[in-house]
Amino acid sequence: MAEARPFNWEYRPPEIPHEVFRVAGGRPLHGSVPISGAKNAALKLLAAACLTGERCRFTNVPEIEDVRVMAETLRDLGVVVDHPEPNVYEVAAGDVDWLFVPLEAAAKMRASFMLLGPLLARFGEVIISNPGGDRIGRRPVDLHVEAMRAMGAEIQYRYGYYYAKSPGRLRGAEINFPFVTVMGTENAMLAATLADGRTVIRPAAQEPETDDLIEFLVKMGADVRRTAPDTIEIVGKRRLRGAQHHVVPDRIEAGTFMVAGAITGGKIRLQGARCEHLRAFLAVFDRMGVRHDCGPDWIEVDASDTGPGEFRACDIATAAYPGLATDLQPPTSVLLTQAQGRSMIHETIFEDRLEWLTELRRMGANVELVDPHHAIVEGLTRLTGAHVEIGDLRAGASLILAALAAQGETVIHGAHHVHRGYENIERKFVDLGAHLQRLAEGITPLSS
């Protein structure tokens, strides 16, 4: 059988609003910022709600584009998704009309593939598009598919779609991934909650968002346990019940705002952030000499007394949790431009995630792309305003960070990428004292 290849026959890309961020940089940011619920938890929780016909309720759901896409995708299947107030979603998947996840959903968001496990386990079949998501590497889904096959599913790939069927109940299985995959772990885990027998997943993702999902599944009546740091065991049940859950705070958003405080010479308290989820990232701050403090439900970064050039260069390497998150590599790279000396960046997870550094170079950063996985940053450089283009979510937020630290005005094209994953980012930055506006492409204001 042919394996997945990109396929765009009859496909029309979604309408994209042409928006830009205009940022007048060079102002220290001060104050307190509330950290929203984690995108990478919320999306999987919404998918998990399809494991039961009973109503599930989620609070602290971030108001972001990816959540709206997931909600729309579920509604298109016939699932009831209510949004009674900001940050609250209710899902009732009693009946579904279609077991079909179209390319339109998949092209907007890779996490649409998280519907494979729950729909297959509960309804015995689904046709689901090969996903798109960020342009950061090939990002195949072969490990998700192999995990479902190990549980007895029959899956064929035709014309850009996976046709997945389970002749009876899925069967528990030993799933041995060749390396850690976050959504692969989560997809297999969701499917296994309704499978017949015991499933063991190894090496399993250790991300806090994966544990948040486990917590919710247990509330639904699932038998899911992390029996070793890298092992998750599930004993399948015939039915699960509805449950309520408060989404874990977004450690990637927290890390992004920490860099904003450091890079602008400001002082920011991240309300709701959890230090224990950011250990590897905070270790980088320690090595660079960026002052920070941890409270029970906040983190504070204070660079208000730090002069230019006081941060130290530092070599970094991304890794699966508890290592340094690849999603925090772009913000950290911006911070490294403001450190004294040479830093090496080793991006171990995705092969295209350093490409955005060419945009950062337009702003004056001294960055050399050695190969798809390595880059060298020479600091300290004075960043200056420029016209730059966002290619993906995390790079987008990082260009805003660079713009906040830069002298002069920066125009950042492709603002929609950022709204996929950051709730009201412009409001949060403005409240901290940033001069930042989101405008339709072609409009000029921002003169002060």
Contact footprint for ligand UD1 (CB under 6 A):
40, 43, 110-111, 137-144, 181-184, 326-327, 349-350
By beta-carbon proximity to ligand UD1, the closer residue of 144 and 413 is 144
Smaller CB separation from ligand UD1, 70 or 383: 70
Rg (C-alpha) for the chain, rounded Å, is 22
List the structure tokens of 144.
């998700």
The nearer residue to ligand UD1, 3 or 305, going by C-beta atoms, is 3
Closer Cβ to ligand UD1, 139 or 435, answer by number: 139
CB of 143 to ligand UD1, least distance (A): 3
CB 397 within 8 A of CB 263: no
Hey, which bits of 55-153 come out as E strands? 55-59, 80-85, 88-92, 100-101, 125-129
**C-beta of 250 vs 302, nearer to ligand UD1:** 250
Closest distance to ligand UD1 from the beta carbon of 147 (Å): 9
Q: What's the min distance (Å) between Cβ of 209 and ligand UD1?
A: 6
Sign of CA dihedral 231, 235, 237, 243: negative
281/428 Cα distance (integer angstroms): 21
Minimum distance, C-beta of residue 121 to ligand UD1, in the bound complex (Å): 18
Nearer to ligand UD1, 22 or 110 (CB): 110
Answer whether 22's CB lies under 8 Å from 53's CB.
no
Q: Could you give the 3-state DSSP secondary structure of residue 445?
A: coil
129 vs 42: CA distance, rounded Å: 21
Closest CA to 397 of 370, 366, 369, 434: 434
Q: In the complex, what is the shortest distance from the CB of residue 311 to ligand UD1, in angstroms, rounded to a whole number?
A: 25
**C-beta of 38: minimal distance to ligand UD1 in Å?**
9
Our CB check for ligand UD1 shows the closer of 94 and 229 to be 229
Q: Alpha helix (H) ranges present in 124-181?
A: 142-150
Least separation in angstroms between CB 325 and ligand UD1:
6
What dihedral do alpha carbons 196, 200, 205, 210 form, nearest 10°? 40
Q: Which amino acid is located at 202 in the chain?
A: R
